[in-house]
Amino acid sequence: MKTWQKYVGVVGVVLFFTCALLIQFPIGRVEIDQFLTGYFMGFITTFGSCLFWDWPAGKLTFGGADENAIGLVSVVPFVALTALASLYTAIAIMLIRDPLVLFSITLSGVIVQQGFYPLIKLNPIARA
């Protein structure tokens, strides 16, 4: 993993949590609110897609979901959140068509794919 990918991953996560905090309070400028919402939902959608891509390949188990029902229950909120974020992303792409929203969704997707997800895969706990 390259050094710039680590920085992109860390900055992307900081921006994600900043968006999560700022979404709760409307700033007043529609453009900023749309950018924050698009980045937040795009981040969740891309991260969920990365995890679901690794799940069938056997690289990922969701909290012991293969062994018992408690692990399966831990997957349900994650699946619901990813489904809602994916629905928002699909609606934003098909109906909103605001370039700023589409840019923020694309930006978050690139940040997750190039920085955040490879950073998580380096973690020895995630590989166990």
List Cα–Cα distances, 1 to 4, 6, 117, 126, in angstroms.
9, 8, 11, 16
3-class DSSP state for residue 46? helix
Residue 114, number of CB atoms within 10 A of its CB = 16
113 has pLDDT over 70: yes
Separation CA 68–CA 26 (nearest Å) = 42
Euclidean distance between CA atoms 83 and 4, whole angstroms: 30
120/62: higher pLDDT? 120
pTM to 2 decimals? 0.75
**For 69-89, how does the pLDDT look when each residue is reduced to its tens digit (9 = 90+)?**
666 666 778 788 888 888 888
Q: What local confidence, expressed as pLDDT, does residue 58 receive?
A: 66
Q: Considering the chain, what percentage of its residues have pLDDT values greater than 90?
A: 9
